[in-house]
Amino acid sequence: MKIRKGDKVIVVSGKDRGKDGKVIRTFPAKNMVVVEGVNIKKKHQRPTKDNQKGQVVEQTSPVHVSNVMLKDPKTNKPTRVGYSVEKGKKVRIAKKSGTTLAF
C-alpha cells in the first residue's frame, strides 16, 4: 500500500469526492484508510452506567485506498506515487511533479 499514516490525500470517488484530509490510520490487510473529515457516520450510543446520557456520536469510517489519491505538495492536485533510489535509499516521489515525499 503506497499511502501511509500522516499523508495528505484527496478523495477521488464516492460521496465525499473532492474533499481532502490527513490519513489518521491505515489498515493494510483490508486496503483501507481513515481520513479525517471524510466518510463520517453517525453512531447511536445507549445510556450506560458510565455514560448516563444516550447520544448520537459522529465517527470517521475507513475508505478504500482506491478511492483516495495522494495530494501533490507542489500543485495540490491528486497524483500517483512512485519510488526511486537516491543515495542508496528508496524514496517515494509524486509522479506529477517529481517531488520527493516524506517516507
In-domain check, residue 61: yes
Domain that holds residue 22: 8-73
Kindly tell me if the per-residue pLDDT of 103 is higher than 80.
Answer: no
In-domain check, residue 30: yes
In-domain check, residue 29: yes
pLDDT of amino acid 81: 93
Q: How many Å apart are CA 27 and CA 33, to the nearest integer?
A: 6
In-domain check, residue 48: yes
In-domain check, residue 93: no
In-domain check, residue 94: no
pLDDT single digits (tens) 26-65:
999 999 999 999 999 999 988 888 767 888 999 999 999 9
Residue 67, SS3 per DSSP: helix
Q: What angle do CA 78, 95, 2 make, to 5 degrees?
A: 75
Enter the C-alpha cell of residue 98.
517529481
In-domain check, residue 22: yes
In-domain check, residue 2: no
What is the pTM for the complete model shown? 0.83
Q: How many Å apart are CA 47 and CA 13, to the nearest integer?
A: 36
Domain count, the chain: 1
Residue 15 zone, left/alpha/beta (φ > 0; ψ -120 to 50; rest): alpha
What CATH number should be reported for the domain holding residue 66? 2.30.30.30
Q: Strand locations in the chain, DSSP E?
A: 8-11, 20-27, 32-35, 40-45, 55-60, 63-64, 68-71, 78-79, 81-86, 89-94, 100-101
pLDDT of amino acid 48: 83
